[in-house]
Amino acid sequence: MAKAAAAGEKNEIEQLREKLRYHEYRYYVVDDPEISDAAFDRMMDRLKELEAAHPELITPDSPSQRVGGAPREGFQTLRHARPMLSLDNAFSYDALRDWDRRVREGSGHEKIEYIAEHKFDGLSISLQYEDGMLARGVTRGDGTTGEDVTPNVKTIRSIPLRIEGATLKKAKLNGDFEVRGEILMPRKSFEAMNRQQEQSGGKIFANPRSAAAGSVRVLDPSITASRRLEFFAYYLLVDGKVPFVKHSDSLQVLKQLHFRASDDWKPCAGIMRGTPREKNFLTRLTAWSSRLTP
């Protein structure tokens, strides 16, 4: 019975890897996903669960061993100063509590203050500034290397091309830093674009996320400019390191630097021990997020 079970699990692992590779290609390379993000995440979680139970079956080419899709041909690739990792997810309060437990055990602190904020769902991008000027815009790619899409991101008006020296001084930063965030396509822009695509006989995008990715990862910057994309910043690095002790400080400085960042965030004293006010905020945050996409 043990051998049969092991054989069955090995077969399931291989089938999951094949399916995930296919859907990674559809999502990250072709920009034409066939399944929802939630369905993809469930398959990935199942693969990770099986590999954790049988580490001897983990292979270097498993989809679980990398972050995202490989860069496409046609763009120069650049290495990130610090890996661009993806966020984990939780589908239940039990999973959320388990994550909280691992954080507390790993940090050695019983009391952890979290920042509750929106998880933006678009194309992750790294904006690298030198002497206060936008020098490069690089996609996440596989997490280690990404595509240089600088001419394209420069067409997005919510991305500052230059940060004034006085503004940098007030934020206690020099001119060399990195801002990470998400390029999004607002619902109205998405609907207008698909109407235009339908009228011209062009490609109809499945959702705003794939539309945003497809609009940035093109060789013609004028296409990006026509799509009316938005950029939301949420992470700040200096020399590959976080310059502030608290994440909330980074969010405030990003606003000072004239980046578009969410105002809807709040410190929370733990996952399940929040005050009624904090719990009401999380409920409002979830309701607000549900209105962002169709």
pLDDT the model gives residue 293: 39
Predicted confidence at residue 121, as pLDDT, reads 84
Q: Look at the alpha carbons of 120, 207, 71, 18 in this order and tell me if their dihedral is positive or negative.
A: positive
Beta bridge partner(s), residue 125: 139, 181
- At 172, phi and psi to the nearest 5? 60, 45
Pick 123-289's CATH classification: 3.10.450.50, 2.60.40.1930, 1.10.357.10, 3.30.470.30.
Answer: 3.30.470.30
What phi, psi does 214 have (nearest 5°)? -65, -25
Distance between CA 197 and CA 195 in Å, rounded?
Answer: 5
**CATH 3.30.470.30 domain residues, the chain:** 123-289
At residue 180's C-alpha, the angle toward residues 282 and 272, to 5°, is 20
Catalytic residue ranges: 119
- 13-29 average pLDDT score: 83
- In the chain, CATH 1.10.287.610 sits at 2-65
User: What is the rounded distance in angstroms from the CA atom of residue 177 to the CA atom of residue 84?
Assistant: 15
Task: Provide the pLDDT for residue 49.
Answer: 93
CATH of domain 2-65: 1.10.287.610
User: Does pTM top 0.75 for this prediction?
Assistant: no
Token pair recorded at residue 175? 């001119």
Summarize pLDDT for 175-208 with one digit per residue, the tens. 999 999 999 998 888 999 999 989 999 888 889 9
